[in-house]
Amino acid sequence: MLNLVLFGPPGAGKGTQSQKLIARYNLVHLSTGDLLRAQITQGTELGLRAKKLMDEGLLVPDEVVIGMIGSALKDNKQAAGFIFDGFPRTVPQAESLDRLLAEHETNVSCMVALEVDEQELVTRLLERGKTSGRPDDQNEDKIRKRVTVYNTETAQVAGYYAKQQKFHALNGIGAIEDIFSQICGILDKHAAAAPASSKQATDEVKA
């Protein structure tokens, strides 16, 4: 099974690359924001708990988020792998994800972080804000704060995966296809080093 933790600051092109990776490797995209909204809409126990906390202005605790990811893994047992989008954001979350994946007899294959300098991100997001309608894409101060938060979070998690020799940083500025090719090179390398069952599943997807 091929499991990618994909990181990138707002505006780095993470969404574009995710869609291309999903199409090539038949991966399931797991975004914690999407999972939260889906669980709340479905009225599940986890969703109701998360909604109550969010309505009170509180952060959803790690165990609830991990629980939602666990449910998604169970619902997609036949998947060739997963893209974890922007999660984990802390070392404790990374440790919890490792334990969860181990229960499903798999693990994180690698973490890829798309690096883009702050001014380029500001330019991209302000341009995106003209059509996205998102207020946080239209305010430069808010954009810079989001980038700062991302950099702080990533530094810790990057170190965690670097110790496992799974962390890769890529320049997020350039042609979309060139960046995609580099990510695929990293994934293929880790897939080749994976246990036979995971490698076979990946080979079948690419055939």
Catalytically active residues are: 14, 89, 128, 134, 146
Please, which residues have CB within 8 angstroms of residue 187's CB and are 6 or more apart in sequence? 2, 4, 21, 25, 109, 110
Single-letter residue type at 91: V
Please tell me whether the peptide bond between 92 and the residue prior to it is cis, using omega within 30 degrees of 0: no
Is residue 93 marked as binding? yes
Is residue 144 marked as binding? no
Is residue 124 marked as binding? no
Torsions phi, psi of 86, nearest 5?
Answer: 75, 15
Is residue 194 marked as binding? no
Encoded tokens for 171: 């320049």
Is residue 12 marked as binding? yes
Is residue 146 marked as binding? yes
Alpha carbons 131 and 107: distance in angstroms, whole number: 38
Is residue 60 marked as binding? yes
Is residue 59 marked as binding? yes
Give whole-number Cα distances, 105 to 95, 98, 194, in Å: 15, 10, 12
Please, which residues have CB within 8 angstroms of residue 3's CB and are 6 or more apart in sequence? 81, 82, 84, 101, 106, 107, 108, 109
Is residue 88 marked as binding? yes
Is residue 13 marked as binding? yes
* DSSP code of residue 13: S
Is residue 142 marked as binding? no
Is residue 16 marked as binding? yes
Single-letter residue type at 45: E
> Which residue numbers belong to the known binding site?
11-16, 32, 37, 58-60, 86-89, 93, 128, 134, 146, 174
> Which residue numbers belong to the known binding site for ATP?
11-16, 128, 174
